[in-house]
């Protein structure tokens, strides 16, 4: 059988000697006493299937062109032509157009590119499209190399070593580029964090 779970699910490996696993939605216990513990805080899905799973997100993920892979540049530019009326956040982080890019990684990608989350895709000129592509590659590579963001824990309960620039940890502090206060807004079913000076709404 296959077990699939999505990004709303927290997965932890509990050591054999850990007595209290707290509340959980699923526990897979191993012979040596260790266990995989799955919990869901806000939303999340755990799916057990035989390898054939007719679920839109799952199929899109399996067949997606992954960021940092070879064909990604072509896929990225091709996608622009279908999305001119969309905001940058809607374009990058919804409908599994770019699996691997969600609201969590989006904030620093847009900050590095100097783009406001509500900017329309159709209003980005070639330079800014190119800057956005470069930022996706740079930020995701750094996050991967550092074991994830410092706002998320890994399988062993350790925070990632990538220091987020725009996140719940930095909201209200000064932007490292211009000194303006970092703000938070609710937008498209999640919080966006940005610098109002470095990322102006064009
Ligand atoms: Zn700034």
Domain range annotation of the chain:
2-60, 66-194
Q: Give the pLDDT confidence of 107-133 residue by residue, as tens digits.
A: 999 999 999 999 999 999 999 999 999
In the reported structure, the alpha carbon of residue 68 is separated from the centroid of ligand 1 by a whole-number distance in angstroms of 27
pTM equals 0.88
**How far does the centroid of ligand 1 lie from the alpha carbon of residue 107, in Å?**
13
Q: Say what the pLDDT of residue 192 is.
A: 97
Q: Which long-range contacts (CB under 8 A, 24 or more apart) does 76-79 make?
A: 76/133, 76/136, 77/129, 77/133
98 with 135: CB under 8 angstroms? no
Q: What is the DSSP letter of 188?
A: S
The answer for residues whose C-beta is within 8 angstroms of residue 107's C-beta and 6 or more apart is 117, 164, 165, 166, 167, 192, 193, 194
Whole-number Å distance, alpha carbon 174 to ligand 1 midpoint, is: 8
Reading the block at residue 51, the tokens are 């390898």
Taking only the tens place, the pLDDT of each residue in 168-195 is 999 999 999 999 999 999 999 889 999 9
Q: Mean pLDDT of successive 10-residue segments in the chain (202 residues)?
A: 89 86 90 94 91 88 86 91 89 86 95 96 92 96 96 93 98 97 94 96 78
> Cα(200) to centroid of ligand 1, in Å?
10
User: Quick one: tokens of 118?
Assistant: 């509500």
CA of 120 from ligand 1 middle (Å) equals 20
Residue 39 CA from chain centroid, whole number: 18
> What CATH code is assigned to 66-194?
1.10.8.50
What 3-state DSSP class applies to 7? coil
Give the pLDDT score at 177: 97
Distance (angstroms) between ligand 1 centre and the Cα of 55 equals 40
Query: For residue 163, what pLDDT is reported?
Result: 98
Cα–ligand 1 centroid distance for 103 (angstroms) = 20
């Amino acid at each position: 059988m296959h077990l699939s779970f999505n990004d709303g699910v927290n997965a932890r490996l509990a050591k054999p000697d850990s007595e209290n696993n707290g509340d959980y939605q699923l526990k897979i216990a191993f012979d040596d006493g260790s266990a995989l513990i799955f919990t869901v805080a806000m939303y999340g899905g755990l799916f057990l299937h035989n390898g054939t799973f007719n679920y839109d997100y799952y199929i899109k993920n399996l067949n997606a062109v992954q960021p940092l892979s070879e064909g990604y540049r072509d896929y990225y530019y091709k996608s622009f032509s279908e999305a001119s009326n969309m905001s940058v956040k809607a374009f990058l982080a919804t409908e599994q157009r770019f699996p691997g890019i969600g609201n969590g990684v989006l904030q620093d990608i847009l900050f590095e590119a100097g783009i406001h989350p509500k900017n329309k895709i159709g209003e980005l000129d070639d330079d800014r499209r190119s800057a956005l592509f470069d930022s996706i590659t740079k930020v995701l590579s750094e996050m991967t190399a550092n074991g994830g963001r410092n706002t998320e824990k890994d399988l062993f309960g350790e925070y990632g070593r990538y220091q987020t620039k725009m996140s719940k940890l930095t909201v209200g502090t000064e932007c490292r580029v211009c000194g303006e206060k970092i703000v938070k807004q609710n937008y498209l079913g999640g919080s966006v964090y940005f610098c109002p000076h470095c990322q102006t709404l064009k």
